[in-house]
Structure 1
Amino acid sequence: MRTDDDSWDITESVGATALGVAAIRAYESKREDALFHDPYAAKLVGAVASPGWDALMAGSLSGQNVDDGDLRGWSMGSVLIARTVYFDEYFAAAARAGIRQIVILAAGLDARAYRLEWPSGTRIFELDQPKVLAFKARALAEDEPAADRREVAIDLRQDWPKALLDKGFEPGEPTAWLAEGLLRYLPGHAQNQLLEKVVELSAPGSRLALNLGRGGDMADEFRERRKKVMAEAGITIDLENLFYPWEDRHDPRDWFAMHRWLVTEGDPVALLEDHGRSVPEAAKAGMAHHILMTATKPRGDETQ
């Protein structure tokens, strides 16, 4: 069970979920019709040196539904692929808009600092638990990031704005923030505190992209298949006990609208289909419970 001061390594608790997401990215990257290429995902999962995690990444476990490339046996693989594409495109748009300051909250095993193309002068701040960042540093020790990457080793329930400022963050510059796979791991009040700090640190023209799974986002059939796959892989974490309830939080779309940020939503099903990827009918109902959104702080000449 979660506690207010819990911490984790990469194979424990919330840290292990980052391995699961990296495994999905590694699997997708092997497809001939891959919607993105993340050559670092396999390296990060492989650095754990676990046959179970390697099998999950390869899609070779008996409970994995690999015929349609969905990997829903572990999670809603289609959602994870869609959100990766959505956030990759989000950062590309931010770069075109002239934003050169990037903050990735709960960066986990995100390798965008290495795998995306970044304009000269881009600074990327990655915030996460010290043990998680230390694991990533060891796994990617021989790789060079494509931008000025700065680690901020801190728990997001602590005074992370000070730690961010100490690493050279400039609050007067527009920032592209990312909160991928984060909010459900925070209680509702902690979500509000995090978003309030983001707003305080954001210059006009800043933007934040996030995802959030609402309650009832997975059918029992897929939940049971996920448990089977994880058991076969020897992965013992209880994902359901890592999440905090949807009912105890504000919908971030409404929250940012109340703070007069401009909100745009993304549809994970439409996004995949627009990129030529068919979505199994059985997956669509569950995907409808997932939020993809971007909120932008208006400049002086912009209105609601």
Structure 2
Amino acid sequence: MTDLHEVATARTDGDSWDITESVGATALGVAAARAVETAREDALIRDEYAYLLVSAAGPQWAQMASADPEWLADDQEFRRVHETSRDYQAVRTHYFDDFFRAAMRAGIQQAVILAAGLDSRAYRLDWPTGTTVFEIDQPKVLEYKTATLDAHCAEPRARRIPVAVDLREDWPAALIGAGFDPAQPTAWLAEGLLPYLPPDAQDRLFELVTAHSAAGSRIAVESFSMDLSDQAEQDRIARRERTARMRERSGIDIDVDTLTYADADRADAGAWLAEHGWDVDAVPSEVEMTRLGRPAPDYEAEAIASSVLLRAELTEENR
């Protein structure tokens, strides 16, 4: 068995990727879970674009996004893991959809989705007239999404502006150059992003977001903690063994542990924001999953317990 900290990283400084490579492939996996959820009669969210975005990457991806579970055959463990991933992504998406709806009701007309991946909110949420949605991500990822949705004649419901820039570069300059107004309140989203940044890059991201946020701005974040206990390490080892079997079964090589930065000294996102003037409201993901009728199973308890969903607002008095 291998300690998580001994897992070789696939990341390098300045690395980039296409949609089926490295971090890009994780965007496909997340969108596949949204597609499967959308096909449920009791779906928590509806993303009619998810299957289009995933299936365009090839037949193996289309299979993963399919509502037909036959490809899982009789592998009950794989089926359970697949269902848990679907439930978690559905709850996470539901939480952040509600965040944007609340921001709209508050009159915010400028949204920035950091590391947007295959996020389709610009197309599927009912944005008020005059809203602009900026999507920041790697050039090839944005090109793939735009081309795929254009091919299906999809029309965004807000003014959508892709900003092709790496978050490790001077993304605020690129964002402002694309028309972003830091003097106006903004709704920021960091969903499925932080583990793919080193700790210092996470701090820098929050510093730049705060510096470019007017009073009344809001941010929503998916935050993770690193439990270094022996039991947590055994749980991670078991999870790696399960995901290895999943890769073999699906034919898709996504190994998240080699793409993320498992650093114990990473700042707690909620604490960092609170210390820098943001009023924070947070909920553990497992609590939100239970509230929405999708409780996390025991065998995924460690992974899900490390996740927290939070919203924060930068008030006039703190700005």
- The answer to whether the superposition gives a TM-score over 0.5 is yes
Identity of aligned residues (%): 48
Q: Structure 2: where are the runs of 5+ without partners?
A: 1-9
Which string of whole-angstrom CA distances, capped at 9 and with x for unpartnered residues, describes residues 198-237 of structure 1? 0000000101111123335764444322221222222123
Partner of 2:96: 87
Match of 1:71 in 2: 83
1:212 aligns with 2:233: no
- Counterpart position of 1:54: 62
Asked if 2 retains the 8 angstrom alpha-carbon contact of 1:65 and 1:71, the reply is no
Contact between 2:296 and 2:304, CA under 8 Å: does it hold in 1? no
| Counterpart residue identity of residue 56, structure 1 | M
Give the equivalent residue in structure 1 for 2:5: none
How far apart are 1:275 and its partner, in Å?
2.6
**Partner Cα distance (1:158, 1:249) in 2:** 20
Q: Distance in 2 between matches of 1:70 and 1:233?
A: 11
Aligned to 1:186: 197
**Count of paired positions:** 298
Question: Could you tell me which amino acid in structure 1 is paired with residue 289 of structure 2?
Answer: L
The CA distance in 2 between the partners of 1:242 and 1:207, in whole Å, is 28
1:132-281 pair list within 5 angstroms: 132-141=141-150, 142-216=153-227, 219-281=236-298
- Residue type of the alignment partner of 1:299: E
- C-alpha deviations, 1:11-67, integer Å up to 9, x for none? 000000000000000011111110001010000001112x22122222433447586
In 2, Cα distance between equivalents of 1:67 and 1:135: 29
Q: Per the alignment, in what secondary structure is the counterpart of residue 39 of structure 1?
A: coil
User: SS of 1:266's equivalent?
Assistant: strand
For residue 23 of structure 2, what is the amino acid of its counterpart?
V
**Distance of 2:76 and 2:197 partners within structure 1:** 29
Q: Which amino acid aligns with 1:125?
A: F
Q: For residues 159-204 of structure 1, what are the alpha-carbon distances to aligned partners after superposition, in whole Å with 9 as ceiling and x for unaligned?
A: 1101100111111110000011111101111111111100000000
SS in 2 for 1:156: coil
State how far apart, in whole Å, the 1-side matches of 2:16 and 2:139 are: 9
- Counterpart residue type for residue 126 of structure 2: E
1:116 and 2:133 are equivalent in the alignment = no
TM-score with structure 2 setting the length = 0.87
2:21 to 12, 22, 35: 12
User: How far did 1:121 drift?
Assistant: 0.8
d(CA) in 2 for partners of 1:88, 1:284: 24
| SS at structure 2 position matched to 1:224 | helix
Instruction: Tell me by how many angstroms 1:98 deviates.
Output: 0.7
How does the TM-score come out when normalised to structure 1?
0.92
What amino acid is aligned across from residue 81 of structure 1 in structure 2?
A
State the one-letter code of the partner of 2:136. Answer: L
Alpha-carbon distance in 2 for matches of 1:39, 1:172:
34
Q: Structure 1: give runs of 5+ residues left out of the alignment.
A: none
Corresponding letter in the other structure for 2:17: W
